[in-house]
């Protein structure tokens, strides 16, 4: 360890959707390493300590051979412009500034853009379009929630500070006693490491979330439910009735939910049932719901894609304007049905976590990858960029799971460029290439002046 330790206060951890911005980092500037991350959870500590610089790694490669960044940008642009169905995917682990460039590239080349949302809370996005959502920022939960329900998620392992910083233990404006002023309920098919925090643990049969949520809606509305619900769902009518009373009589209730709802049988119907339940409860008291989002800036990706196109994910520009169709323009589908003929993958590793068939197709097409480390996806890339890590080496904007935007404070410099810089380079080049095509087709006009492109 060198003598030269720099302290970065109020830094932000971008590992999970909690986006905790109270990190106190000790940075060894010469070694380019974070030696201590005060306030970080187990995941955050690994995030900060493991993102070191591999000095000798090439910044850019074509087909596994080191090239200049300029050459790689040129090859990436040519690859994307010459494809018939180029797809852009990933985006949850980078800044909004980079995400904006990625949507621009896809718009210009008339490609297809999708984010990791489609395999995370994509179904919740669809449910939101169907029924809306009563929701709040996490600070409201901290200040007001006297009933906190977690459904189909295991924050103790996926979002370790969710309990301590936002939703269970902190004291709030109207919750002076912290945890003792709240009732905590956990609903999960497994008794996970989150169970000890719950006052009430409910363990249904797997794949029965929709039935239970719908029964709760009925009970909230005063309808009769038959006692054989227990046989169907593994949860007794008595337990459901008790939960109903707790929900109706709390002062400020919140339903947090995870991918136990979105990734199982029912998918968007599960999320929709939960969102509708929270909405229904507003007839009796104040009630909100919130998906517990995963990767650091997946919520930013939803926001950026939405404001630029009107739709949150699964967007296709092939007709010159955005179209939205989950199941067609979502990446598992564009890959497994064999439509995509080139891919731009940003800060994501579909090569290791997609369905087998999608991975097989991905490996058969030219891909351009931006990532901070080598992954299953980048190791076979046609063009691979090694980029710096957001929140550790570069600033930018990240949205917490409750849509609160936060500016990152980098800890030390990386020799590698950031995603935004590479994507801006690709965007400029594909724009030139496409403008040349348009001019050849007789379009009139000036080149842009100070365009927001």
Partner 1 sequence: MKMILIPGRSAKQGTSLNHGKLKEEYIETTSTLEMNPDDMQKLKLSDGDSVRLKNATGEALVKCIAKKPGDLPSGMAFIPYGPPSSQLMESDTAGSGMPISKHMEIEIEKL
Partner 2 sequence: MAASMRIINGRVYDPTNNVDGEIKEICIQDGKIVASAGDDVTVIDAKGMVIMPGGVDIHCHIAGPKVNAARKLQPEDHRHDVHPATPFTRSGTGGTVPSTFATGYRYATLGYTTAMEAAVTPIGARHTLEEFHDTPVIDKGFYVLLANNIFLQKLLKEKRMEEFDQAVAWWISSTKAYTVKLVNPGGDEPWKGKKNSNVSDIDELNDEGLTPRKIIEAFVKTVNARGFPHPPHIHCNNLGHSGNYITTLETMKTANGLRAHIAHIQFHSYGGEIGKNPVSKATEIIDYVNNNSNITCDVGQVMFGKSTIMTADAPLAYVLKGHSKGKWVNADTECESGCGIVPFTYQEHIYMHTLQWAIGLELFLLSKDPWRVMLSTDHPNGGSFQSYPKLIKLLMDKGFRREEMKRVNQKALINTILPDLEREYTLNEIAIITRAGPAKALGLHNKGQLGVGADADITIYDDMEDKEEMFNAPRYVIKSGHLIIENHEFRNDFNGRLLHIAPEYDKKIEEVVQPFFEDYYSIEFANYAVDDHYLHDHEVIPLGETHS
Q: Could you give the C-alpha distances from 159 to 95, 258, 295, in angstroms and in order?
A: 20, 11, 10
Q: Which is nearer to partner 2, 210 or 252 (CB)?
A: 252
Q: Which is nearer to partner 2, 218 or 434 (CB)?
A: 434
Question: With CB under 8 A as the contact rule, which of the stretches 121-129, 207-215, 226-234, 352-360 interacts with partner 2?
Answer: 121-129
**What are the residues binding partner 1 (CB under 8 A)?**
15-16, 42-43, 45-47, 49-51, 114, 118-119, 122-123, 126, 154, 156-158, 160, 189-193, 203, 206-207, 259-260, 262-265, 267-268, 294, 313-314, 326-328, 330-333, 335-336, 349, 352-359, 373-376, 379
Backbone torsion region of residue 152, taken as left when φ is above 0, otherwise alpha when ψ lies between -120 and 50, otherwise beta: left
Q: If contact means CB under 5 to 8 A according to the sort of partner, which of partner 1, partner 2, none does residue 180 touch?
A: none
Taking each helix axis from N to C end, the angle separating 209-220 and 237-249, rounded to the nearest 10 degrees, works out to 60
327 lies in the binding site for partner 2 (CB under 8 A): no
364 lies in the binding site for partner 2 (CB under 8 A): no
277 lies in the binding site for partner 2 (CB under 8 A): no
Q: Which is nearer to partner 1, 134 or 331 (CB)?
A: 331
Q: Within positions 304 to 323, which residues make up the interface with partner 2, using CB under 8 A?
A: 304, 306-312, 317, 319-323
Structure tokens that stand for 44 in this block: 């955050």
DSSP, collapsed to helix, strand or coil, labels residue 72 as: helix
Q: If contact means CB under 5 to 8 A according to the sort of partner, which of partner 2, partner 1, none does residue 151 touch?
A: none
Q: If contact means CB under 5 to 8 A according to the sort of partner, which of partner 1, partner 2, none does residue 332 touch?
A: partner 1
Q: Within positions 23 to 82, which residues make up the interface with partner 2, using CB under 8 A?
A: none
Which strand ranges, in their side-by-side order, compose the sheet holding 367-371? 65-66, 60-62, 383-386, 367-371, 342-346, 86-90, 112-115, 315-316, 323-324
Which of 406, 411, 426, 430 binds partner 2 (CB under 8 A)? It is 406
Q: Within positions 80 to 109, which residues make up the interface with partner 2, using CB under 8 A?
A: 96, 100, 104, 107-108
Taking each helix axis from N to C end, the angle separating 69-81 and 419-440, rounded to the nearest 10 degrees, works out to 50
418 lies in the binding site for partner 2 (CB under 8 A): no
Query: What is the spatial distance between Cα 304 and Cα 91, in angstroms, rounded to a whole number?
Result: 10
Q: Could you give the C-alpha distances from 453 to 77, 95, 308, 431, 436, in angstroms and in order?
A: 16, 17, 11, 9, 16
256 lies in the binding site for partner 2 (CB under 8 A): no
Q: Which is nearer to partner 1, 61 or 426 (CB)?
A: 61
For residue 388, the minimal CB distance to partner 1 (Å) is 15
Q: Within positions 224 to 253, which residues make up the interface with partner 2, using CB under 8 A?
A: 251-252
Residues facing 370 on adjacent strands: 346, 385
For residue 303, the minimal CB distance to partner 2 (Å) is 6
Q: Which is nearer to partner 1, 266 or 425 (CB)?
A: 266
Residues facing 289 on adjacent strands: 255
Q: How many CB atoms lie within 10 A of CB 436?
A: 11
440 lies in the binding site for partner 2 (CB under 8 A): no
DSSP assignment of 404-448 equals: -EEE----S--SSPPHHHHHHHHHHHHHHHHHHHHHHTT---PPP
Q: If contact means CB under 5 to 8 A according to the sort of partner, which of partner 2, partner 1, none does residue 362 touch?
A: none
Question: With CB under 8 A as the contact rule, which of the stretches 112-120, 194-202, 330-338, 404-412 interacts with partner 2?
Answer: 404-412
DSSP assignment of 3-27 equals: S-EEEEEEE---SBTT----EEEEE
Which of 173, 180, 245, 353 binds partner 2 (CB under 8 A)? It is 173
Q: How far is CA 406 from the centre of its chain?
A: 15
222 lies in the binding site for partner 2 (CB under 8 A): no
Structure tokens that stand for 306 in this block: 């939405």
For residue 170, the minimal CB distance to partner 2 (Å) is 9
Q: Which is nearer to partner 1, 37 or 59 (CB)?
A: 37
For residue 334, the minimal CB distance to partner 2 (Å) is 19
What residues contact 50, with CB distance under 8 A and at least 6 apart?
none
DSSP 394: B
For residue 26, the minimal CB distance to partner 2 (Å) is 17
Q: Which is nearer to partner 2, 133 or 341 (CB)?
A: 133
**184 with 199: CB under 8 angstroms?**
yes
Q: Which is nearer to partner 1, 204 or 366 (CB)?
A: 204
Q: If contact means CB under 5 to 8 A according to the sort of partner, which of partner 2, partner 1, none does residue 418 touch?
A: none
Taking each helix axis from N to C end, the angle separating 268-281 and 122-131, rounded to the nearest 10 degrees, works out to 50
């Amino acid at each position: 360890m060198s003598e030269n330790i720099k302290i970065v206060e109020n830094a932000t951890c971008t590992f999970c959707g909690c986006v905790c911005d109270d990190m106190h980092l000790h940075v060894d500037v010469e070694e380019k390493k974070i030696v201590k991350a005060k306030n970080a959870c187990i995941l955050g500590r690994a995030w900060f300590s493991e993102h070191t610089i591999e000095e000798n790694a090439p910044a850019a490669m074509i087909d596994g051979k080191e090239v200049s960044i300029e050459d790689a940008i040129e090859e990436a642009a040519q690859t994307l412009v010459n494809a018939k169905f180029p797809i852009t995917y990933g985006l949850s682990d980078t800044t909004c500034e980079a995400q904006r460039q990625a949507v621009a590239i896809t718009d210009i080349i008339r490609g297809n853009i999708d984010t990791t949302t489609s395999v995370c809370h994509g179904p919740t996005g669809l449910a939101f379009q169907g029924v809306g959502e009563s929701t709040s920022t996490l600070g409201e939960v901290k200040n007001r929630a006297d009933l906190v329900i977690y459904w189909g998620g295991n924050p103790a392992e996926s979002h370790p500070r969710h309990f301590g910083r936002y939703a269970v233990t902190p004291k709030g404006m109207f919750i002076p006693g912290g945890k003792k002023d709240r009732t905590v309920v956990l609903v999960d098919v497994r008794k996970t490491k989150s169970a000890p925090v719950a006052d009430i643990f409910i363990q249904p049969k797997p794949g029965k979330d929709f039935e239970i949520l719908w029964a709760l809606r009925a009970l909230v509305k005063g309808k009769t439910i038959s006692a054989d619900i227990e046989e169907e769902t593994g949860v007794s009518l008595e337990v459901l009735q008790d939960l109903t009373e707790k929900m109706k009589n709390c002062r400020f209730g919140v339903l947090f939910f995870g991918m136990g709802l979105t990734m199982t049988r029912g998918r968007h119907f599960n999320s929709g049932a939960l969102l509708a339940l929270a909405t229904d409860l507003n007839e009796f008291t104040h009630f909100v719901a919130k998906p517990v989002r995963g990767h650091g800036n997946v919520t930013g990706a939803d926001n950026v894609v939405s404001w630029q196109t009107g739709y949150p994910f699964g967007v296709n520009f092939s007709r010159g304007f955005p179209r939205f169709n989950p199941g067609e323009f979502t990446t598992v589908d564009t890959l497994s049905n064999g439509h995509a003929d080139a891919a731009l993958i940003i800060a994501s590793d579909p090569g290791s976590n997609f369905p087998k068939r999608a991975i097989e197709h991905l490996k058969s097409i030219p891909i351009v990858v931006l990532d901070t480390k080598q992954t299953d996806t980048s190791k076979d890339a046609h063009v691979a960029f090694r980029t710096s890590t957001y929140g550790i080496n570069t600033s930018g904007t990240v949205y917490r799971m409750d849509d609160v935007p936060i500016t990152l404070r980098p800890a030390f410099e990386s020799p590698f460029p950031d995603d935004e810089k590479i994507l801006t380079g690709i965007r400029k080049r594909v724009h030139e290439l496409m403008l040349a095509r348009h001019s050849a087709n007789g379009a009139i006009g000036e080149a842009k002046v100070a365009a927001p492109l």
